[in-house]
């Protein structure tokens, strides 16, 4: 496959390396310094694009790929207020768009565990729930997209939790899920969900040791999406 890399930061570099190790060709590596190269790139030679850039670049990158009928796999977070627009563009253009806040297989197992635990804890009102996430200092958005995905599952399943709040106190509002976001190098990603009562705590935790798990997942999805159409997610790719 010929894969276009949209965003050539730390994640983009690992994705590019893993893609080449799996026998793929990198059609181009685009970041803010050479984005004008998209004007002359032959889109017909690109089988899929992987987009891991910055929140302020993601929408333009995705729009370009979708309008050129290049299946695009996106892992950039911090831009999701525009996601409905990208989904509508995908459907109207007959293209393929895949979004996940995290491409690690382990994290997606963690999502399932989080959802299962939240369903159980809905029946345990003596427990307050909170979350902590830790990432490297170059991560621009907070909380992380993974934390938001975890929070949305809790809000959907725990009736007493109505929203998430960044950096609020666990006891400050009984209807809010407080999320603490820390930026500490070189942490690639840690997420901790805690249900806390006067008697005990229940905690689930995922710790990433490197970016490789995220990057490999993105490459595997790019291989899978090549001939797909529509708005897709990890629920389409994985079965548990």
Does residue 128 sit in helix, strand or coil? Answer: strand
Q: What residues does 164 pair with on adjacent strands?
A: 177
Q: What residues does 230 pair with on adjacent strands?
A: 96
Measured at the CA of 226, the angle between CA 222 and CA 231, to 5 degrees, comes to 80
| Alpha-carbon span 36 to 107, nearest angstrom | 35
**Dihedral sign of CA atoms 16, 149, 183, 131 in order:** negative
| Alpha-carbon span 170 to 67, nearest angstrom | 44
List, by residue number, the catalytic residues. 135, 139
| Alpha-carbon span 224 to 216, nearest angstrom | 12
| Alpha-carbon span 93 to 74, nearest angstrom | 17
DSSP 227: T
């Amino acid at each position: 496959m010929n894969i276009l890399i949209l965003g050539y930061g730390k994640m983009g570099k690992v994705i590019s390396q893993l893609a080449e190790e799996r026998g793929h060709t990198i059609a181009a590596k685009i970041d803010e310094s050479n984005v004008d190269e998209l004007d002359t790139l032959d889109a017909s030679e690109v089988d899929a694009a992987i987009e891991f850039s910055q929140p302020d670049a993601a929408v333009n990158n995705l729009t370009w790929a979708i309008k050129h009928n290049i299946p695009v796999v996106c892992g950039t977070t911090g831009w999701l207020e525009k996601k409905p627009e990208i989904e509508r563009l995908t459907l109207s253009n007959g293209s393929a768009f895949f979004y996940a806040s995290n491409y690690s297989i382990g994290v997606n197992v963690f999502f399932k565990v989080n959802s299962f635990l939240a369903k159980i804890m809905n029946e345990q009102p003596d427990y307050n729930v909170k979350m902590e996430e830790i990432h490297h200092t170059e991560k621009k958005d907070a909380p992380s997209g993974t934390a938001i995905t975890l929070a949305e599952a809790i809000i959907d399943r725990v009736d007493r939790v109505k929203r998430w709040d960044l950096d609020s106190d666990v006891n400050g509002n009984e209807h809010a899920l407080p999320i603490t976001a820390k930026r500490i190098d070189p942490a690639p990603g840690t997420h901790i969900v805690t249900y806390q009562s006067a008697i005990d705590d229940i905690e689930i935790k995922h710790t990433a040791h490197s970016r490789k798990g995220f990057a490999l997942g993105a490459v595997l999805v790019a291989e899978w999406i090549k001939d797909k159409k529509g708005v897709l997610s990890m629920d389409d790719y994985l079965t548990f």
